[in-house]
Amino acid sequence: MQLWCTEKQTESLGLTARVKETLFTGTSEFQDVAIVDSFQFGRMLVLDGVFQTSIFDEFVYHEMIAHIPLYIHPNPKHVLVIGGGDGGTIREVVKHDSVEIAEMVEIDGMVVDACKKYLPEISAALNDNNPKVHLKIGDGIQHMKDAENKYDVIIVDCSDPIGPGEGLFTHDFYKDVFKALKSDGLFVQQTESPYYHQELIKRLHKDIQSLFPITNMYLANIPLYPGGLHCFTIGSKKHDPAAVDMSNRQKLVTRYHNAELQKSCFVLPNFVQELIK
């Protein structure tokens, strides 16, 4: 008998993957957690039935959410990742020599433990006890309320705006992010599909733009995510993505990100530009 796993991406659309084996299932205080081994995407993290990451294409998301903002800031020393329980974003953050402290605040310890065991390639920085990494199992929203003038870069690597991730998509949260950043700080958040989440994107862009003098969106192609095209939104107090000079920056070994893409990912199709006018 064939086993299939389906994510309902919209009310009228689902993505279905054939599964070899279910490696882990559990119910935490916050959500249903599963890790399955699929034929197309390899091992996958699934939260409340939503595909979060896979061995097949995780490098795209994690490189783009981490390296784009870390290259925009000229000297990021203190970085915070909110969410990111699979460990992929913090894995990319610690590759930057300038980063001295990489904090990670994840609300669900079950996700961290499951990914460390079943997705060790993604959770490498957590499994290796990288000395830069400071992991806290706790509420990222409350962490933001308590922080002020502390971080160079904040990366909001959250799940969809439902369940435990819902509060990370609000104007009040962005105000706390602004407060927690240093005077030249910036933040990035994954902001869903420009095909299927247009009203959300419009609202978020407006909220972020009301606080940050520089607000930009960029894109990446990620097969696992709805529509295959994913967007990220940056709010910056000072540093402009268009002004980045990659010629004198640390060169990393990457599979998706490169110096040319650092700028070209901000070139948006007309329909996306219309969303954020």
Tell me the catalytic residues. 157
* C-alpha dihedral, 91 to 97 to 98 to 101, nearest 10°: 50
Which two three-digit tokens encode residue 191?
Answer: 């902001």
**Displacement of CA 121 from its chain's centroid (Å):** 17
E strands in the chain: 3-10, 13-27, 32-38, 42-47, 50-54, 78-83, 101-106, 133-137, 151-157, 181-190, 214-221, 229-236
Max distance between CA atoms of the chain, in angstroms, equals 58
Q: Is the separation of the CB atoms in 180 and 154 below 8 Å?
A: yes
